[in-house]
Structure 1
Amino acid sequence: MSLQTQVSAAEWQARCTLATLYRLIAHFRMTDLIDTHISLRVPDEPNHFLINHYGLPFERMRASDLVKINHNGDIVGAHDAGKSVNTAGFVIHSAIHAARPEIDCVIHTHTGDGMAVAAMQDGLLPLTQHALKFYQRLAYHDYEGIALDLDEQSRLVADLGTHQAMILRNHGLLTAAENPYRAFHLMYMLERACQAQVKALSTGQALTRPPEAVCARASAQFAAEDDDAYVRKVWDAAVLLIEAQLADCCR
């Protein structure tokens, strides 16, 4: 019996969307073999979310490979029996899903450029237009070791506050939004900002920073124009790049 017949239509669609998101992250080379995670709250089940079956590369992720768990990390439903979840993925994602009911999707990455900026004392610098999207809209969380301790959850949530993007110092990047389309767009922009910063710093040349007033203006412009219609257009365009994989995503 296929998994599609065992879950609600809404859950199956969420699984297809999340599998597509995993493959988009792989397409844009933001993976770390089997580590890092993306989660999506199950529609109409606020205390349950979907996350990857640990050990499967993002490039191969399918709807049926995802695991439905609760905020305690327990696998929910007999159809997901035999699958496993990475503990660090549960600790980070469950903390945000539990504390922020408006957040349905959380993306966490360990890219080379993301980790490089996470190791910089000043974090993300206002050097590019991409970076200005996050001007005064970016949280930071200090490194406490591998995220295995439930005790860290309260501090992580407190550091994120009301933001939708965060740099985990000495670790990586995180975005959290009300839907997967916005979470993806935020991560794409944050990753590009980190890539540009690492390249700019590597030149050894003096760098130009826009005046603070210009930084604030650009950030406000992003906030005003970054509506749901726009982020959905970004998503639809990105999905076209992996169009040949979509049928496999929904298996």
Structure 2
Amino acid sequence: MPDTSGSNLSYWQERTDLAAAFRWTARLNMHEAVANHFSLAVNDDGTQFLINPNQAHFSRIRASDLLLLDANDPETLSRPMSPDPTAWGLHGAVHRRCPHARCVMHAHSIHATVLASLADSRLPPIDQNTATFYNRVVIDEQFGGLAFEDEGERCATLLTDPSKKVMIMGNHGVLVLGDSVGDAFNRLYYFERAAETYIRALQTGQPLRLIPPDIAEKTARELEDYPGQAAAHLAAIREILDHENADYAT
């Protein structure tokens, strides 16, 4: 791990965690060129947040690159080193409206986006991973184009229920919320895996074996309460990066 003891940047632990999530998302090919954005609230009411810089590739992002923004600053886009306008529109709105959304990750990962492109974007419980999201997903069926400020505000209004931590953005992609970087990334990872399982099951053309509603809900609750998995997932990612690509934490 690089020595960051002399760094004068604030929120160093949060920065390094978020940088690790960017790097691993690229490694899993869940990113899209220099688009998509992850953000992390750093104050109590969630209005100050870290986010990736404009047009930066996930595989190159370092902790020191991350921007620190204020969701209530109307001059953000006119300032030097301003974020991508769609990042500001979507993440700024979510951090203003949804204080429970500590970490917000938006991606166009392929299987989640395929699901978002179907006329019926529901994710039925057909295995343990898909059951994780049973009754815990919002489906946005009113895609309004790029997530500039008006579209971002509209999307944020759909995320006010803290129990719904995934939004399938119809015709667009997926957005996940979490209590921390590890929590949000773990959810993003497993949603993509769940979507892949469902899409591949549909491709067989065979009938699906659905998990009964009571068992699906039981499974979702058990996984929500499963101790330490998200933190352990991120810790393992950081250990690998510390060995192979330690510049993420610079």
TM-score band, normalised by the shorter chain? Answer: 0.7 to 0.9
What SS does the corresponding residue of 2:202 show, helix, strand or coil?
A: helix
Partner of 2:135, secondary structure, is coil
Q: How far off is 1:238 after superposition?
A: 2.8
Aligned-residue CA RMSD (Å): 2.2
Q: Does 1:103 align with 2:101?
A: yes
Equivalent residues in 2 for 1:98-247, closer than 5 Å:
98-123=96-121, 124-142=123-141, 143-148=143-148, 150-160=149-159, 161-162=161-162, 163-225=164-226, 227=227, 229-245=228-244, 247=246
- The one-letter code matched in structure 2 to 1:64 is S
Match of 2:33 in 1: 33
Which secondary structure does the structure 1 equivalent of 2:136 belong to? coil
Instruction: Look up the equivalent residue of 2:166 and give its one-letter code.
Output: A
What SS does the aligned partner of 1:241 have?
helix
Q: Distance in 1 between matches of 2:244 and 2:80?
A: 25
Question: Can you list the C-alpha shifts for 1:94-114, whole angstroms capped at 9, x where unaligned?
Answer: 111112223221101101211
Counterpart AA for 1:20: A
Q: Deviations over 1:113-147 (max 9, x none)?
A: 11100012322222221010000011112211111
Residues 235/39 of structure 1: CA separation in 2 closer, same or farther (3 Å cut): same
Change beyond 3 A, Cα 1:200–1:219: same
1:151 maps to amino acid: D
SS at match of 2:225: helix
Q: Secondary structure at the match of 1:39?
A: strand
Give CA-to-partner distance per residue, 1:12-43, whole Å, 9 cap, x none. 22222211111111122110010000011235
Give the AA of the match of 1:23. Answer: R
Aligned residues: 240
Between the aligned partners of 1:238 and 1:14, the Cα distance in structure 2 is 15
Greater relative CO, 1 or 2 (CA 8 Å, sep 6+): 2
Superimposed CA distance per residue, residues 68-98 of structure 1 (whole angstroms, 9 cap, x where no aligned partner): 121146559xxxx753411111111111111
The verdict on how the C-alpha distance between 1:31 and 1:170 changes in structure 2, with shifts beyond 3 A counting, is: same
| Counterparts of 2:175 and 2:74, CA distance in 1 | 20
Q: Is the 8 A contact 2:15 2:64 kept in 1?
A: yes
For the pair 1:7 / 2:9, whether they are aligned, the reply is yes
Task: Check 1:198–1:241 CA distance in 2 against 1; reply closer, same or farther (3 A cut).
Answer: farther
1:159 and 1:75 map into 2 onto residues whose CA distance is 24
User: Residue 34 of structure 1 contacts residue 56 of structure 1 at CA under 8 Å; is this kept in 2?
Assistant: yes
Could you tell me how far 1:242 is from its partner in structure 2?
A: 2.6
* Inter-CA distance 32–204: structure 2 relative to 1 (3 Å threshold): same
Cα offset for 1:177? 1.2
State the one-letter code of the partner of 1:220: R
Q: CA deviation at 1:222?
A: 1.7
Contact 1:73–1:90 under 8 Å retained in 2: no
* AA partner of residue 147 (structure 1): A
Closer, same or farther: CA 222–73 of 1 in aligned 2, 3 Å: farther
Tell me which residue corresponds to 2:92.
Answer: 94
Q: Decide whether the 8 Å contact of 2:94 with 2:153 is kept in 1.
A: no
Aligned-residue identity in percent:
29
2:89 touches 2:150 (CA, 8 Å); kept in 1? no
Structure 2, unmatched stretches of 5+, are none
Q: Tell me by how many angstroms 1:158 deviates.
A: 2.6
How far the C-alpha of 1:215 sits from its partner, in A, is 1.5
